[in-house]
């Protein structure tokens, strides 16, 4: 276990060290202390490493992650694990706006709440939120799965493509072209698997599934937002 104290080292030094990791590196376990809300911690990692950030992280923590298993013990700022490719990024507290934006693979777990626009433009990532999410979540989401154990704000799933959204709590409103879908055994199995992987306790039977009505897929005048 290597310990990096961000009171003593710069984020640049930390990232530079993490970028030098490869399959042959002897050390694969890192503990980052005193993050104090600094931005861009552990971005662009491309290695099977375990990285624990003890405290609060700023914007884009775990951005574009590949393979690594990153945990933030406190809260995280905007753009947590944006464009994640693979691996797992977990936040034990809450996360701010655009969590997992454009993420293409891997798993993001927010044990607390995620703010607005969680999963915006997501392209294949799985996102599990233990608490509630803000407005416009999964906006323009293209692919992947989103699990919301609490409530969702306004315009959930607006303009989504092939994305599945599982919600246990109340939804303030659904966005344009997002509708409730029947949950079949396949979807139930996926939900169960995601809750398991995320180690979040919830009863899959209590969730409802939402997806695209697919009325926006083709450019028809009826799709325009007319007054």
Partner 1 sequence: MNKPSVNEETGPVEDSALQESYIWSKQTIQEIQRAATEGIYSIRGGGAKRKVPHFDDLLFLGASMSRYPLEGYREKCDTNVTLGTRFAKKPLHLDIPITIAGMSFGALSAQAKDALGKGAAAMGTTTTTGDGGMTQEERASSKTLVYQMLPSRYGMNPDDLRKADAIEVVCGQGAKPGGGGMLLGQKISDRVAEMRTLPKGIDQRSACRHPDWTGPDDLEIKINEIREITDWEKPIYIKVGATRTRYDVQLACKAGADVIVVDGMQGGTAATQDVFIEQVGIPTLPAVRIAVDALKEMGMHRKVQLIVSGGIRNGSDVAKCMALGADAVAIGMAALYALGDNSQKYAEEYHKMGSAPGYYDAYHLGRCPAGITTQDPELAKRFDPELGGRRIKNLLQTMILEAQTLARACGKSHLHNLEPEDLVALTVEAAAMAKVPLAGTDWYPGKDSSY
Which of 33, 85, 183, 188 is in the footprint of partner 1 by CB under 8 A?
85
DSSP 184-222: -HHHHHHHHHHHHHHT----GGG-EEEEE---SSS--GG
Question: Is 225 near partner 1 (CB under 8 A)?
Answer: no
Least distance from partner 1 to the Cβ atom of residue 116, Å: 11
Which of 49, 72, 120, 171 is in the footprint of partner 1 by CB under 8 A?
120
Which of 90, 117, 135, 190 is in the footprint of partner 1 by CB under 8 A?
117
Which of 29, 184, 196, 217 is in the footprint of partner 1 by CB under 8 A?
217
Question: Is 101 near partner 1 (CB under 8 A)?
Answer: yes
Decide: 90 and 109 in contact? Cβ < 8 Å: yes
Question: Is 224 near partner 1 (CB under 8 A)?
Answer: yes
Q: Which is nearer to partner 1, 1 or 221 (CB)?
A: 221
Cα gap 130→76, rounded to integer Å = 15
Least distance from partner 1 to the Cβ atom of residue 162, Å: 6
Least distance from partner 1 to the Cβ atom of residue 94, Å: 17
Cα gap 99→62, rounded to integer Å = 11
Question: Is 40 near partner 1 (CB under 8 A)?
Answer: yes
Cα gap 30→47, rounded to integer Å = 12
Decide: 97 and 76 in contact? Cβ < 8 Å: no
Among 210, 214, 162, which Cα is nearest to 223's? 214
Question: Is 11 near partner 1 (CB under 8 A)?
Answer: yes
Restricted to residues 123-182, the positions that interact with partner 1 (CB under 8 A) are: 123-124, 140, 142-143, 161-162
Decide: 65 and 89 in contact? Cβ < 8 Å: yes
76 DSSP assignment: B
Cα gap 167→82, rounded to integer Å = 22
Name the CA radius of gyration of the chain, rounded: 18
Q: Which is nearer to partner 1, 24 or 219 (CB)?
A: 219
Decide: 187 and 207 in contact? Cβ < 8 Å: no
Question: Is 36 near partner 1 (CB under 8 A)?
Answer: no
Q: Which is nearer to partner 1, 113 or 158 (CB)?
A: 158
Q: Which residues contact partner 1 by CB under 8 A?
A: 11-12, 15-16, 19, 39-40, 43-44, 46, 58-60, 63-64, 66, 78-79, 82-83, 85, 98, 101-102, 104, 117, 120-121, 123-124, 140, 142-143, 161-162, 217-219, 221, 224
């Amino acid at each position: 276990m290597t310990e990096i104290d961000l009171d003593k080292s710069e984020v640049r030094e930390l990232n530079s060290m993490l970028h030098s990791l490869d399959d042959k590196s002897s050390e694969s376990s890192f503990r980052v202390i005193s993050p104090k809300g600094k931005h861009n911690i552990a971005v662009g990692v491309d290695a099977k490493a375990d990285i624990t950030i003890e405290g609060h992280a700023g914007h884009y923590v775990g951005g574009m992650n590949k393979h690594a298993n990153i945990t933030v013990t406190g809260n995280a700022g905007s753009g947590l694990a944006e464009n994640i490719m693979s691996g797992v990024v977990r936040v034990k507290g809450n996360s701010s706006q655009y969590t997992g934006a454009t993420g293409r693979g891997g798993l993001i777990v927010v044990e607390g709440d995620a703010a607005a626009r969680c999963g915006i433009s997501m392209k294949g990532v799985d996102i599990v939120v233990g608490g509630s999410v803000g407005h416009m979540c999964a906006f323009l989401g293209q692919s992947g799965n989103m699990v919301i154990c609490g409530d969702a704000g306004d315009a959930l799933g607006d303009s989504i493509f092939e994305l599945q959204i599982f919600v246990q709590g109340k939804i303030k409103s659904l966005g344009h072209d997002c509708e409730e879908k029947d949950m079949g055994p396949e979807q139930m199995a996926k939900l169960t698997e995601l809750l398991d992987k995320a180690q979040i306790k919830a009863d899959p039977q209590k969730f409802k599934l939402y997806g695209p009505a697919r009325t926006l897929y083709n450019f028809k005048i009826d799709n325009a937002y007319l007054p």
